[in-house]
Structure 1
Amino acid sequence: MRYLKRLARNMLRPLNFVLLFMMYVSLQSSLAFYNWAIAISDRAKMRGRTKEAEELWKQAAEKYEKAVQLNWNSPQALNNWGLALQALNNWGLALQELSAIVPIREKKTIVRTAISKFRAAIQLQFDFHRAIYNLGTVLYALAEDTFRAGRQDNAKEQSPSELYSQSAIYIACAHALKPTYSVYLSALKLVRSMLPLPYLKVGFLTAPPAENLIAPHKNWERSQFVLNHEGLQQITRTDQKQLLQMPYGRSEESENLEKSLIKVDVPDILSVSTCADLTLPPGAGLCIDTVQGPVFLVADTWESLDGWIDAIRLVYTIYARGKSEVLASTITA
């Protein structure tokens, strides 16, 4: 028996070595493609708004894609991939005027791909403020594009006002994480008025009764929720106007109201994730795991769910980094 165990260990050692060697080669190859992409990007920047620059940005995006394929756990490569896609549309890092080189529909396809790369980078590193800021700028550009087009391609697409508001959320969070960055502060001054002040995010979610979080589907209702630096809170239709005019949980009336509504305080959050549970009502499921237990909610669409998950995670990350006061000053000042 001992002989068999020793033989098994000896057989596994070469395999482990091969696997480790393959991982090493993959990481080195990823780094090579990453550096290659950076070199191409530098050349593209020198070419300005030319056809040659467009081709170079395409090549850079391809190299970043290869780098990510070889090492998916690289938020910087994902972020740079998104930037290359932005540059491909001549949008750049600043909130610049959109180029007319690329057709509108193709632009939207490219920019939505860029959004997915920035979002993936943030999911790997929640406090990656550059990716957070870049996501805000690309959403702003998409809002501008949609506004200038004067129409949406389909009813499910977000309106310009929704995109502007989302853009402001990411820029505000990037500033909260790095308040000393002048670029973030300048951008925040531009978009702050697009936030649903005194909150960071306001929107609709389908929720169970607060007193019975596992209630039957028929008892779940679509209602409005607000999010700020302190937490996520449900509000009733009757009290929407009243609550939207005061800071989170400040008045006696709102404190009494909270007893019968869902409320999640930021310090209590353990994790935030999507939830494809068949026991939930139809829609995009959201699970907020807290020290008191999980809270399940349902967003109207999966795109809307992405916005809620990002916002809640970012608020928690800002709290964990000790920067809640910076965010509070942004939305309540």
Structure 2
Amino acid sequence: MDLINNVTGVDEEGRSRQRILSFAAKRYASAIERNPEDYDALYNWALVLQESADNVGPDSISPSKDALLEEACKKYDEATRICPTLHDAFYNWAIAISDRAKMRGRTKEAEELWKQATKNYERAVQLNWNSPQALNNWGLALQELSAIVSVREKQTIVQTAINKFRAAIQLQFDFHRAIYNLGTVLYGLAEDTLRTGRQFDAKEISPNELYSQSAIYIAAAHALKSNYSVYRSALRLVRSMLPLPYLKVGYLTAPPTGNPVAPHNDWKRSQFVLNHECLQQVSRGEPKQSTQSPSAMLASTTHIEKPLIKVDILDITSISACADLTLPPGAGLCIDTIRGPLYMVADTWESMDGWLDAIRLVYTIFARGKSDVLAGVITG
């Protein structure tokens, strides 16, 4: 209570808000005196401390923001000890720890705090898996942690962060913050790969492809929230990394047109392009192996035939990964349309994830009435 009572607020609105918080804190303190096992009172008291920390001025020494957050963490700890299934407490506890870590820069102490935060986000997601915000924050905490740990640990942590952002998007397809964050972590991974000069084998994603993937997510975030200046600035940086005038270019193995149950030998690996309107096949047959970027490969195609497969975005009803054993070897992809399902196979599961996300994002942008914004990005 002494900590909360000494918070004055930086302006009149803050002072008014702090008076309300102080009154609430007294009620929760009284509830704990009556019943020390009242985990709801402990949880709400922690929230009051956390909100009070936001009211502390940047130059305040007594109480400090860190002292309030530390006390909030103690209350969250007590509440979750009494009620181990209190997922909201683990989530807000992780936020408080993250705020403490941010004050400590890239130090060993900050590293330990970020590790604690990731553990609490993990516990929050275990108790409430249907929380895209918790998954997104978990990814952000991992991203911060990756900037502090050794190079040997970094790659694993970054890959885990990518998985968390992707999981958040799969729960909420229009979650623009997670979409943008995924783009930034992929961009950072591409930069790190080039900076270290590490050789990568054919099974790994090249820096050029990572840049291209990064640009897809940032372009999608911008299309969903074009008034966000940070998305607009990031898009200016990465737009040239897209295979313009398309959003995505790559290879998929598909059956002959009109014969989805054709023998595996009749399925052909060919080039596909995705824009704001459709996914379509642009070349026939097996391409030669190339180290070129997707946009360069598209430009070098010598003979563009009439599209054999074309899926209009407005015809799609759902899209999902598919592990059907009747498909050729590889990572299966099923696009359900109003005309029936279309099955295709990507070279790897990582490639399939990229196609799955890209098509879902284009469909989500279409469903939100933002296709014209995406069209402006890729066609200029």
TM-score (norm 2): 0.72
Q: Distance in 2 between matches of 1:26 and 1:162?
A: 46
Cα deviation for residue 53 of structure 1 reads 1.0
Q: Is the 8 A contact 2:260 2:342 kept in 1?
A: yes
Question: Contact conserved, 1:224 with 1:234, CA < 8 A, in 2?
Answer: yes
Q: Is the 8 A contact 1:235 1:243 kept in 2?
A: no
Spell out structure 1 runs of 4+ moving beyond 2 A.
Answer: 25-28, 101-105, 151-155, 240-245
- For the residue of structure 2 that corresponds to 1:47, the secondary structure is coil
Taking the aligned partners of 2:296 and 2:106, their CA distance within structure 1 comes to 50
Residues in 2 aligned to 1:32 and 1:54: alpha-carbon distance in whole angstroms: 22
Distance 2:130 2:183 in 1: 22
Inter-partner Cα distance in structure 2 for 1:26 and 1:330:
49
Q: How does 1:1-333 map to 2 (within 5 A)?
A: 29-90=86-147, 101-152=148-199, 154-236=201-283, 257-258=306-307, 261-333=308-380
* Cα-to-partner distance string for 1:100-150 (whole Å, 9 max, x where unaligned): x53333111000000000000000000000000000000001111111121
Q: For 1:136-194, what per-residue CA distance to the aligned partner results, in whole angstroms no more than 9, with x for missing partners?
A: 00000111111112124543110000100000000000000000000000000000000
Aligned AA for 1:106? E
Task: Tell me the number of residue pairs that the alignment of Structure 1 and Structure 2 aligns.
Answer: 289
Aligned partners of 1:285 and 1:296 also within 8 Å = yes
* Identity, % of aligned positions: 76
RMSD: 2.4
Amino acid at match of 1:69: Q
Residues 304 and 35 of structure 1: CA distance in aligned 2, closer, same or farther (over 3 Å):
same
Q: Which has the higher contact order (CA 8 A, sep 6+)?
A: 1
Contact 1:286 1:296 (8 Å CA) reproduced? yes
* 8 Å Cα contact 1:229-1:315 kept in structure 2: yes
Partners of 1:237 and 1:145 in 2: how far apart?
A: 36
- Amino acid aligned to 2:236: K
Partner of 1:66, secondary structure, is helix
The answer (yes or no) to whether the contact 1:27–1:71 under 8 Å persists in 2 is: no
Deviations 1:53-92 (A, max 9, x none): 11111111110000000000000000000000000023xx
Q: Is the 8 A contact 1:57 1:88 kept in 2?
A: yes
After superposition, the Cα gap between the structure-2 partners of 1:153 and 1:196, relative to the gap in structure 1 and judged at 3 Å, is closer
Contact 2:139–2:164 at 8 Å: present in 1 too? yes
Partner of residue 5, structure 1: none
In structure 1, distance between residues paired with 2:363 and 2:138 = 26
Q: Give the C-alpha shift of residue 308 in structure 1.
A: 0.3
CA distance in 2, matches of 1:269, 1:205: 18
Change (3 A) 1:65 1:243: closer
Distance 1:296 1:85, change over 3 A: same
Counterparts of 1:305 and 1:176 in 2: how far apart (Å)? Answer: 23
